Amino acid sequence: MSRRIEVNGLSKDFTLHLQGGQQMSILSGIDMQVDAGECVVIHAPSGAGKSTLLRSLYANYRASSGQVNIWHDGAWVDVQSAPARQVLTVRHHTLGFVTQFLRVIPRISTLDLVAEPLINRGVEKQVAHEQAEELLSRLRIPKRLWHIPPATFSGGEQQRVNIARTMICDYPILLLDEPTASLDEANRGTVIDMINAARERGVAVVGIFHDEAVRQALATRIFSIPAAQAVSLVAA
């Protein structure tokens, strides 16, 4: 199998500025490898650092030490030390990230928002819109909502728009932070099918899923944040 993610010795401390600069150690010395066609589920108690780890894979968080190597365009890129421009290129082509919350852009319709990542890749507007419509239908977003911005949508509707916006690009790596948290059973089933289909095509998936049934349906492997990682305060 081809390796897609290689994490070496990743540590993350947060500085608590309101506590006199005290340091809180969340992750320490994490090693993790993910291959194409795997769905690795990060599983640990609440507050143990699951989202912190996922955000570090996307370089949203700057690690205190360690590497996050992403297989991008035929070579390894350590997104923790790469220049910001290169990180953006890696995200644009290689890393899809679904968070629980949609970043709404004022006045942009749902259809345009979902089609946008494809259009940015040079796909013709009409083709991108057709694919966006297909995904929105599959995710049961009613047609009457397609031409208005999703700012006023329900939590579950926004979450599905967010999923469509990521799934429209065939990213080789998907990072998923609770993508099914606000969904009803039918939509949860659709999203599970989409993620499994992506994995079977060879996408490397890393996700956080609190729901045991969702974990069972998706995980090819569980990654536990080691017990020794229990959150600890370190002297400033």
Ligand X SMILES: Nc1ncnc2c1ncn2[C@@H]1O[C@H](COP(=O)(O)OP(=O)(O)OP(=O)(O)O)[C@@H](O)[C@H]1O
Interface with ligand X (CB under 6 A), residue from 8, 11, 14, 78: 14
* DSSP classification of residue 223: E
Determine the number of helices (DSSP H) and then strands (DSSP E) in the chain. 7, 10
Binding mask 166-195 for ligand X (x = CB under 6 A): ------------------------------
Q: Give, in degrees to the nearest 5, the angle at Cα 226 between 188 and 171.
A: 40
**Smallest distance, Å, CB 161 to ligand X?**
22
Interface with ligand X (CB under 6 A), residue from 7, 40, 51, 209: 51
- Please check whether residue 223 is in contact with residue 2, taking contact to mean a CB–CB distance below 8 angstroms: no
Q: Which helix (H) or strand (E) holds 24?
A: strand 22-35
**Torsion-angle region of residue 20: left (phi > 0), alpha (psi -120 to 50) or beta?**
left
**Smallest distance, Å, CB 111 to ligand X?**
31
Q: Which of residues 141-170 bind ligand X (CB under 6 A)?
A: none
Extract the tokens encoding 111: 């259809």
What are phi and psi for residue 73, nearest 5 degrees?
A: 55, 45
**Smallest distance, Å, CB 42 to ligand X?**
8
> Which residues are paired to 224 by β-bridges?
43
Stretch that binds ligand X, among 50-58, 62-70, 86-94, 106-114 (CB under 6 A): 50-58
Interface with ligand X (CB under 6 A), residue from 30, 49, 98, 102: 49
**Smallest distance, Å, CB 50 to ligand X?**
4
Q: Which is nearer to ligand X, 52 or 187 (CB)?
A: 52
Extract the tokens encoding 66: 């360690």
Stretch that binds ligand X, among 45-53, 81-89, 138-146, 182-190 (CB under 6 A): 45-53
Interface with ligand X includes 50 (CB under 6 A)?
yes
- Please check whether residue 95 is in contact with residue 71, taking contact to mean a CB–CB distance below 8 angstroms: no
In the complex, which residues of this chain contact ligand X (CB under 6 A)? 14, 26, 44, 46-52, 231
